[in-house]
Amino acid sequence: MAKRLLRPIALDAMGGDGAPRAAMLGARQAVEELGIPVLLVGPAKRLRRELGRFRIAPSGLEIVDAPDVVSMDDPPISVLRGKRNSSLSVCAELVHSQRAAAMVTAGNTGAAWVAAKSVLGMIPGVDRPALAAILPRSEGQTLVLDVGANVECKPHQLVQFAVMGALYAEAVLGVQRPRVGLMSVGEEESKGGPRVREGYKVLAGAGIRFVGNVEGRDVFVGDVDVIVCDGFTGNVVLKVAEGLGEMVIGMLKEEAQRSPVYGAGLLMAKGAFRSLKRKVDYSEYGGAPLLGVNGACLIAHGRSSAKAIRNAIRFAQSYAATDVVGRIGEKILEVLDAPGERGAG
């Protein structure tokens, strides 16, 4: 049987603190190790020069010219005004034209949000895109959304996030009948602010496996697969998780250096230590999908290494290979037909 040819992933070569080096090395790893073709998007002359300097020339890597660069300090709207030919905008255009299966960027999150929303458009029935992050749990993983795209959310938007998160967890992460929880300050239905309480009522009849309110600890040790919250809360959870993981690994290393006995013990448990490090390392998860836009878009950490870019490309390919976008559209329309849902909040 002939091998199915994969559509390439459009990679913003100029996004992130390590650009373009991290993007180029990550793209090479994706091509050589995973067999995923990559469109490297950015100023063509500079990219060709950098490819030569790093001696990168895999056959599955192609440069697409995008002369403008959006920095982390640029306002998000710059992708629509002064920098319409930015690497971010061109990546979105490549997905929109179906030349690329998905786009990946480690650049300006707000600008990526604007580019994806304006170029790809929204899935009918979805108001706003949401960023979904995978966080480690004692048994498995937890998908948390929104983690920064929307600081404030209305109740019906939380319901949309829940539907999108459940479908992504099922189709891409392989979770059967994912359990969905709503982040609050207590498990009781009466807990939380007005928008959370109203969201609870609608989620209970949204046709997903809603398990009620959950608390912050449930992200890491709870019996829940998807947690829904506003972007402010989710971003705090995400950054705390990143800092906590780095602290735990750092403390273990310090203790190992402090005592030969501790060092020997850590050496004996090297396999367990490596497993723990993988679970709390954000680079293992690649990037956060921007759910709700009419196409596959992954936003990676601004500090992404080549390894993180490689894994983001891998996740983007998995996302694009499913029909999550179409299924989200169908499910959202079902929920919108529920009495009173659209009028909530």
Residue found under tokens 């959310």: 153
**Each residue of 60-85: pLDDT tens digit?**
889 999 999 888 888 888 888 878 88
Structural domain including 144 reads 130-282
Alpha-carbon span 113 to 252, nearest angstrom:
37
> Does residue 335 fall inside a structural domain?
no
63 & 195 share domain: no
CA dihedral over 317, 322, 326, 331, signed as positive or negative: negative
Tell me, what's the pLDDT at 2? 39
Instruction: Based on the fold, state whether residues 193 and 295 are members of the same structural domain.
Output: no
For residues 117 and 293, is the Cβ–Cβ distance under 8 A? yes
| 258 occurs within a structural domain | yes
Co-location of 228 and 91 in the same domain: no
Q: What are the pLDDT digits (tens) for 122-180? A: 999 899 999 999 998 878 899 999 999 999 999 999 999 999 999 999 988 899 999 99
Q: Is the pLDDT of residue 95 over 90?
A: yes
Is there a single domain that holds both residue 64 and residue 146? no
Task: Give the number of domains in the chain.
Answer: 2
Residue 169 falls within a domain, yes or no? Answer: yes
Task: Tell me, yes or no, whether 23 and 107 share the same domain.
Answer: yes
pLDDT digits 0-9 by tens, 224-252:
999 999 999 999 999 888 887 777 777 77
Q: Are residues 92 and 154 in the same domain?
A: no
Residue 112 buriedness (CB in 10 A; 0-12 / 13-18 / 19+) = buried
Mean pLDDT score of the chain: 86
* Residues 306 and 261 both lie in one domain: no
32 and 150 inside one domain: no
Instruction: Tell whether 338 is covered by a domain.
Output: no
Task: Using a pLDDT cut of 70, give the percent of the chain over it.
Answer: 88
pTM (two decimals): 0.87
Helix axes 87-96, 109-120, angle to 10 degrees: 30
**102 and 175 inside one domain:** no
2 belongs to a structural domain: no
Domain of 63, CATH number, reads 3.40.718.10
